[in-house]
Structure 1
């Protein structure tokens, strides 16, 4: 089968245009979520834990360079979803304030928020997958499957 150069050229132009619009659409989709963890931290956590994760003296524990963040990986998704009360020791200091629950966050948002904390301010911990976060949330009846 033979095609004219004009036909091949038109098909190439159409495919190129589709590729550009498809990649623009995909990049827009990913761009919205690219900084989601930082945005979620700023809107849900920074008021208490500080803009740089430094905590608040002996009242609110730090998440920056936090041994608790590194050592309690399995519990962190449920801690965000359900909140926490009672004493906790972070970097050798005891804290005893109520942390509110965040039932408004989806499983994937919790994973993104935790990944932001896991990779910033001196924390160099393994990232969560959404599936892992959902499975861990299932242990506290906190998974929404999203």
Structure 2
């Protein structure tokens, strides 16, 4: 009986240790946002995962009702985010749009959209950073697929023209 319990506990411990891996290949940690120090790279990798998870939750709550969960948009009312030239053109503009909304016509992938996007002015800078990290790791270009730190979002928001 004791051997069975001990074996079970060891199996659980091994399962936990292997399921919480950090996706390193050949002992290398993904170099995100130019971090040189391996410890800093690891912290950035962990932070990016946290931001993506929370960003997806926030996206599904705040954005998916219009842009759809898969980012495909909704008919001629709401533009797609997935494979969107507009999204890929300017992450800084996207930060401002999330916070301040948008009115007027925009062209996305050659189609014109005129439905207003409401401001999400109750979102914190951290929440916007999390949404940005999720959006661009899902639908951005390879160089945009990174962690969007709160300091960067705060800096961009200070320069938005409303």
TM-score, normalised to structure 1, is 0.70
Question: After superposition, what is the alpha-carbon deviation per residue over 1:37-81, rounded to whole angstroms, capped at 9, x for unaligned?
Answer: 000000000000001010011110001111111102221111111
Quote the RMSD (CA, aligned, Å): 2.2
Q: Which runs of 5+ in 2 are unaligned?
A: 1-46
Q: Which runs of 5+ in 1 are unaligned?
A: 1-29
What is the correspondence of 1:45-60 to structure 2 with a 5 Å cutoff?
45-60=63-78
Q: Which has the larger radius of gyration?
A: 1
* Structure 1 residue corresponding to 2:122, chosen from 89, 104, 109: 104
TM-score, normalised to structure 2, is 0.63
| In 2: Cα distance, 1:98 partner to 1:87 partner | 8
- CA offset at residue 140 of structure 1? 2.5
The change in CA–CA distance for 1:53 and 1:123 in structure 2 (over 3 A counts) is farther
Aligned to 1:117: 135
SS of the counterpart of 1:119? helix
Contact residue 66 and residue 123 of structure 1 kept, 8 A? no
Contact residue 117 and residue 123 of structure 1 kept, 8 A? no
What is the correspondence of 1:1-146 to structure 2 with a 5 Å cutoff?
35-121=53-139, 123-124=141-142, 125-127=144-146, 128-140=148-160
